[in-house]
Amino acid sequence: MLNRLEMLRIFCVTAEAPSFKAAAARLSTSPQTITRAVKELEDLVGEPLFHRNTRSVRITAAGERLAERARQALSDVDGLFAQPAARAATELSGAVRITAPYTLGREHLLPALRQIALEHPGLMLDLRLSDQVADVVDEEIDIGVRLGMFRDQRFVARMTGRISFHVVATPELVARAGMPALPADLHGLPTTGLVAGSTRRPWPWYFAQGEQFIPRTPAFLTDDPQTELGAVLSGLGYGQLPDYLAGAYLRAGQLVSVLEKHTPQPWGLYVFRPRRAPVPKRVRLVFDALVAYFTDPDLFPGSGQGGGRRASGGA
């Protein structure tokens, strides 16, 4: 008696052949083997699968239905034992869900992922930007980027750099309003503030020795870091900005840094993923690409630098 998988393979070939003899030739077996396999399968399903007479063989309607289902089943089974190259091609397709803070996502996630997206058109990159801490399990996130402290043992995390934060203003504003000597002096100066989405209150500014400053009457508030940068460049107030936003303007002389002696300890930039096993190759590919990008100082200005301000979302 043939096993059922082999029986289905014989049946599918026979369903497409003009005769049992032709099916036997395609399978390099005897017509008697074909006849026996078809008979055993008919006994199992309880219906005739072919109309047979002395001159011709024609598949029945029940045979057509079974053949369609059998082809799909055999394809699924074959897929389980596909060659490594074929499996890799499949594994490098599908969705990869990523979360990151707004500014990092807008300015850096697309450059970091552009090449692998072009090389693997089967990938679907689903990027969610938020400065709030995301629930990676409930939101089915595959990879996250987080600025701040990271000690959650549920994740595999790579620290790719440390981000400097500067209290900055335009030279014109410093000349007009004055140079603060202490963080408390900022209360008498125009300042900008970045609003936390959940509380609608300004994020605190962090300084050395754990000192914090929260603007009492900021001249400008926003929930978007890029817009805060624009307000500072417009001379509306002093702001505390990360190096990846302010660095180029400091080097060009469009902004000046103040309170340098009060710079806090650095905060890390992390790329992380949940501790799930096994890790799909598409997820590992994107994870490694982000780590490579954020650790390359030629691509990302925060790589290997010190300084920091606050734990920002995207995780």
Say which residue the tokens 């963080």 belong to: 183
User: Are residues 30 and 173 part of one domain?
Assistant: no
Banded pLDDT at 203 (limits 50, 70, 90): confident
Look up the CATH number of the domain holding residue 136.
3.40.190.10
- Do 222 and 75 sit in the same domain of this protein? no
302: in domain: no
Residues 6+ apart with CB under 8 A from 57: 18, 19, 20, 50, 51
- Token couple for 90: 């499949």
DSSP state of 21: H
Residue with tokens 């079974």: 66
Backbone angles phi and psi of 202, in degrees to 5: -65, 140
Give the pairing of strands 239-242 and 50-52: unpaired
Q: Is residue 153 part of a domain?
A: yes
Strand order in the sheet with 143-147: 123-129, 94-100, 143-147, 267-274, 155-163
Last residue of a domain, one of 38, 64, 81: 81
In a domain, 100, yes or no: yes
Q: Do 96 and 234 belong to one domain?
A: no
Within a domain: 73:
yes
Provide the domain limits for residue 198. Answer: 165-262
Residue 302 has pLDDT above 70, yes or no: no
- Is the pLDDT score of 292 beyond 50? yes
Q: Do 10 and 130 lie in a common domain?
A: no
**DSSP summary character for residue 229:** H
223 in the same domain as 242:
yes
Query: What's residue 85's pLDDT?
Result: 54
Pair (125, 155) in one structural domain: yes
Output phi, psi for 192, to 5 deg: -110, 160
Please check whether residue 303 lies inside any domain of the structure. Answer: no
- Residue 304 φ then ψ, to 5°: 75, 10
Q: Total domain count for the chain?
A: 3
pTM over 0.85: no
Q: What share of the chain is helix, strand, coil (3-state, %, to 5)?
A: 40, 20, 35
pLDDT band at 223, cuts 50/70/90?
Answer: confident
Domain check: are 21 and 75 in the same one? yes
> What are the pLDDT digits (tens) for 238-290?
999 998 899 999 999 999 999 999 988 888 999 999 887 788 899 999 999 99
Q: Residue 310 domain-assigned?
A: no
Residues 251, 278 within the same domain: no
Q: Is residue 59 part of a domain?
A: yes
CA dihedral 281, 287, 289, 293 (to 10 degrees): -170
285 and 202 assigned to the same domain: no
Alpha helices for 28-99 (secondary structure H): 31-45, 61-80, 84-91
What six digits make up the tokens of 111? 């450059």
Residue 202 has pLDDT above 90, yes or no: no
Secondary structure element (H or E) that encloses residue 52, with its range: strand 50-52
Q: Which pLDDT belongs to residue 284? A: 92
Same domain flag for 183 and 239: yes
Q: Is 301 inside any structural domain?
A: no
How far is Cα 263 from Cα 286, in angstroms, rounded to an integer?
34
Q: Count other C-beta atoms under 10 Å from residue 87's C-beta.
A: 14
Per-residue model confidence as pLDDT tens digits over 131-140: 665 555 555 7
Displacement of CA 303 from its chain's centroid (Å): 20
